[in-house]
A and B are shown apart, each in its own frame.
Chain A
C-alpha cells in the first residue's frame, strides 16, 4: 500500500499545481515582468513541454529527491526542507509523547472511575483542551511559566548564548552526542526549550486521546472476557492495564497516528509563537509568495511522513494484537 499511496500523493500534487489557474511563471514573476523573462522561466521550469512529458520529468526528479530551487531564496528546496523539517518533527514527537502518555492515563482513570468527580473533571478539562485556541494557550503558557515564574525560556530551540551549531538539525540527537562527550548543557538546554511548546502543541491531541481512550476503555470493560478475568480473582489494576487496555488501545493508536500526522503539517501557530524554526511557517510563507517548487516539495515531504506514520500504526496493530497480520 505504501508505494501506490505515495505515487497518488505525488501525482495529485503535480496536477494540482499544473492545473491551478494562471501560468506559474507569470505568477512567480509578477505582472510587470518582461516577455523574455517569462519565457525563460517557463523553459527553466519545463513548462513549455507537453504535460505528460512534464509529468515524466517531474517523477524522475522526485525519485532523486530533487524538488528544484525555491523561487524566493534561490536555494535547493530539499536543503530548505532539511534545515527546517527536523525542528518540526522533534517538536511534534515530544508533543505526541506528552499527549499520548498523559492522554491514555487520564482516559483510563476516567473510564475506571466512571461518573465520579475525577471522571467529570478530566472530561470537562478535555473539552477545554479541544476547544482551546493554540496561539492563546501558547501565549498564556509563556506569560505564566516563562515571564512570571521564570521556569522556562520564552521560545527558540537553544540558549543562544551557548552558540550551538547543529549537524542534523535534530537538536536532541546532536546534543546527545555532546552529552556523551561530557558536555550536558546543550542537551539540557534543548530539552528545556522543548517543554512549553510541546505542552502547547500537545494539548489538543491530549484531550482527543483522553476522550478516545475513555470511551474505548468503557467499551472493553463491558466485555465478557474482562468479566472472566476478574472472576479468576486477578487484581483490578492488572485487569485494567494488562487485559483491557491492550484491546482498548487499538482505536487510540489510530487517533495518535492521525494526530501526529496533523501536527507535522499544522504546527504553524505554535512555531510562530515559540519562534520555533520549523516547516509550518516556511510552507505558509511559500504559499504566500507563490513559491511553487517550495510548496510542492513541502507538501510531498509532509504527506510522505503522513503515509509512513500510518504504516507504523499498522505495524503497531500487529504488535499489540498478533491476530492482525500485515499483508
Chain B
C-alpha cells in the first residue's frame, strides 16, 4: 500500500509539474514578438495550420494529392501563378511571356536575381531541368518518377520540347495551339526545383524540398508536422511569418477543439455541422469561397423526352435548387446557374438562373406535347463528393418537386465504378454527376464536359449535347491566346448553354476555412492551394 501511495505522489508531482509548464508554454512566442519594432508589426509569429492528413511526398511533380501539394507549395514557385483568391494568371518566376505567331512557341522571360534556398541561382537551366525530368525518358532523373500529373494534364501531347535560349529565357515548343497550357504551368506539378538539390538528394528530394518559395523547409515528422521558416530573400517581398507549421489532426472535431483552445491558428476541412457554432464563436472567423467544381443533372439529349429543348427547360423550371441546397448541402453548397464555378474567370454572372416556376414548367411541357407529364429515370450518384454530398437525397428532393408538374421519377443507382462506366456510355436518361477543375481554366470545364467531341463514347459530355455553335466557340477559345477575347467567347458559350439547357446545374460546393480573428490576409484559392506568403498575425 505504501508503495502505491508513494507512486501516486510521484505521479501527482509529475502531473502538476507538467500542468505548471502548460501555463508557461503559452508565453514562449512573446520573446520573438518583442524584438520587432512597431512599424514592422506585421512581421513575426508562428502560424499553425491544422489539416486532415499528412503529405505523401514533397516533390509536387510526383504526387497527386492535395495534402502533398499543401506541403510543397510553401517551398516551391511556378513560372506563373494564380492571383490570390482567383483563377487569373499573373507572372511569378517568369516576368513575362509571349506566343509566337503560329502559337506553337511560348517564350518566357525569367526573373533575375532569384536564389534557391540552397543558395544556387535560379536560371533557365532549372526550368529546363524541372520539366525535362518529367517527360524525357533519357533524362537522368526521369527514373525518379512516376510523374503522374504530367500525364493527367496530357502534357506529352502538348509540349514537344523545353529549351534554354539564354540564362534568363526559356522556350516551350508546343505540339498544338493550346491556350490553357499557361494555366497548367501555375499548377503544383510545374514547380521549379533546384537542380543542385536534386543532384544532392536524388530520390530523397521528396523529403528535402529546395525551391525559391516564401518558406524554407526545416523539418518533417511523419504524420505529425512539417516546419518551415521564412525565406528572407523571397523575390516576392517580405514574408511576414517567422515560422509556418503544418500540423496533422485527422479528426475534424479534434481540429475544431484545437482551434477553440488556441493551439492552432487555421483549420482545414471543418465538418459542416460545426460551421454555425464556429461562426458564432468569439475570436473565430470563417472564410468561405465556392469550390472549383459543379454538380449537375445531365439530361441525355439522345433519348426522349430530353431531345426536346422545351422539356429540358421545363426541368430547369420545375427543380428548385434553393430547396435542394438547403436540404442536402447546408452551409457546404451554393446553388449553380452556369456550368462554370463563380470563382472562374469568364463566369457569366449576367445570366439569370431559371426561377422555380412549376406553372411555367407545365406550360412548356404542354407545348412539347407532354401535357400529362412523363415517366423518367434519374440516376443518383452512390458516393459523396464535394459538389454533391448525397446523390440519393438530392434525387429524392427532385422526385418530390417533379411530381408537382406530373413527372414521375424512378431513382436508379449503381456501384460507383459501374455508374461511371454506364453514364460514359450514355445508358441513362438523366444522371447526376459533377466535375472538379484542375488548372482554373474555363476550357477545363466547357470543353471537357459540353463540347461535341467530348460526347464521343466513352464520353465526358454525358448530356450527349452536340451543339455546333457552342463547340465552335469553345474550340476558338482553346486556340485564342488573348484572355479578353477568350472571356468573350466563353461568356457567349454560357448563354447558349443556358438557352439550350442540356443540364440542370445543381450546386457548387463551398469551401470553409475557420481561423483565429488575428490571422490576416489569408485567401482561399479556387484551385485548392493554401498559400501563406503574405499572411500575417495581428498582435
Contacts and interface: CB of A to CB of B under 8 A. Distances in A.
A165 B227 CA distance: 11
Interface residues of A, number: 47
Nearest to B50: A275
A74 B57 contact: yes
Nearest to A190: B18
B206 A162 contact: no
B28 A277 contact: no
B15 interface: yes
Contacts of B413: none
Interface string B222-256: 11110100000000000000010101111101100
A273 to B, nearest CB: 5
B34 interface: no
Nearest to B245: A160
Given A162-B25, A189-B18, A84 B4 contact: no
B7 A101 contact: yes
Interface in A135-173: 135, 139, 142-143, 146-147, 150-157, 159-163, 165-166
Interface in B126-178: none
Interface stretch (B257-265, B272-280, B393-401): B257-265
A120 to B, nearest CB: 22
Contact of A165 (B29, B219, B248, B261): B219
A255 B257 CA distance: 35
B202 to A, nearest CB: 12
Contacts of A123: none
Contact of B25 (A135, A157, A189, A277): A189
Given A163-B227, A275-B254, A84 B25 contact: no
B7 A74 contact: no
A260 interface: no
Given A105-B4, A139-B254, A274-B254, A154 B247 contact: no
A272 B250 contact: yes
A45 interface: no
Interface size class of B (residues with CB under 8 A): 35 or more
A74 B203 CA distance: 9
Contacts of A105: 4
A223 B375 CA distance: 80
B144 to A, nearest CB: 9
A105 B253 CA distance: 34
Interface string A261-301: 00000000000111101100110000000000000000000
B62 to A, nearest CB: 8
Interface string B1-19: 1001001000000110111
A101 B48 CA distance: 37
Contact of A139 (B206, B253, B260): B253
A66 interface: no
B485 to A, nearest CB: 36
Interface of B: 1, 4, 7, 14-15, 17-19, 21-22, 24-25, 28-29, 46, 48, 54, 56-57, 62, 203, 206-207, 218-219, 221-225, 227, 243, 245, 247-251, 253-254, 257-258, 260-261, 263
17 contacts: A74-B203, A101-B7, A142-B254, A147-B260, A153-B261, A160-B245, A163-B219, A163-B243, A185-B21, A188-B21, A191-B18, A192-B21, A195-B15, A195-B18, A237-B1, A272-B250, A275-B250
Interface of A: 72-75, 80, 83-84, 101, 105, 135, 139, 142-143, 146-147, 150-157, 159-163, 165-166, 184-185, 188-189, 191-192, 195, 237, 241, 272-275, 277-278, 281-282
